[in-house]
Amino acid sequence: MATSVNSLILAHHYWVDRLNPWLVHFGNGFGVRWYGLAYLAGLLLAGWILALWARRGKLPISETEVASFILYAALGVMIGGRLGYCLLYNPHEVAHRPPEILEVWHGGMASHGGMAGLIVAVWVFARRRGLNTLSLLDAAAATGPLGIALGRIANFVNGELWGRPTRVPWAVVFPDAPLVDR
């Protein structure tokens, strides 16, 4: 307990994360979150870049097919991310209440599940069109880091992925993070 108290006493020297995860909050868990906007911005940026590449003949799809490709990718990331979280990090709740998988307002996405979902979605997209899956996966891999970076910024705004306790001067205190024994 003394370690926790010392950490809290030192916290006044650090920046304390009190960022609001909601851009607009209407109540009862309904509104627009920065996290959702990060997903949207990442998909729009990826779509814009892929459309440029398609226009220049650098992709095996036309510029008009980019929107469909982004839709497949978005569904793959979201479904895979949600399933990954529910099955890997929340299996007990899902086993007792399977509708939890659909209750996305409770939060929970797993990046590795999102990547697996993306791979499956790109494979389905390519197979339906008789295209080379690997070239489309290359395009997804080249544009994906933009979305991941925006997602990490949203994780920061949400007070997630805080890391381990430290005393460096640039540390940030996340009040909702669990206390960790040193």
Question: What are the CB-based long-range contacts (under 8 Å, 24+) for 171-180?
Answer: 171/14, 171/15, 172/14, 172/15, 172/16, 172/17, 173/11, 173/14, 173/15, 173/16, 173/17, 174/17, 175/16, 175/17, 175/18, 179/4, 179/7
**Same domain, yes or no: 59 and 118:** yes
Q: Residue 5: what residue type?
A: V
**Same domain, yes or no: 175 and 129:** no
**Same domain, yes or no: 116 and 38:** yes
Render pLDDT for 81-112 as a digit per residue (tens, 0 to 9). 999 999 999 999 999 999 999 998 888 999 99
What's the whole-number average pLDDT of the chain?
90
Q: How many CB atoms lie within 10 A of CB 125?
A: 21
Q: Which domain holds residue 176?
A: 1-19+162-182
Q: Is residue 121 part of a domain?
A: yes
Q: Is residue 14 part of a domain?
A: yes
**Same domain, yes or no: 177 and 92:** no
Q: Is residue 25 part of a domain?
A: no
**Same domain, yes or no: 79 and 149:** yes
**Same domain, yes or no: 95 and 117:** yes
**Same domain, yes or no: 79 and 166:** no
How many structural domains does the chain have?
2
The tokens of 139 are what? 């395009």
Q: Is residue 26 part of a domain?
A: no
Specify burial of residue 162 (Cβ count, 10 A radius: 0-12, 13-18, 19+): middle
Per-residue pLDDT of the chain (182 residues; tens, 9 = 90+): 445 545 555 545 778 888 999 999 998 888 999 999 999 999 999 999 999 999 999 999 999 999 999 999 999 999 999 999 999 999 999 999 999 999 988 889 999 999 999 999 999 999 999 999 999 999 999 999 999 999 999 999 988 888 888 888 888 888 888 876 54
Instruction: Kindly state the helix (H) or strand (E) to which residue 42 belongs, with its residue range.
Output: helix 34-55
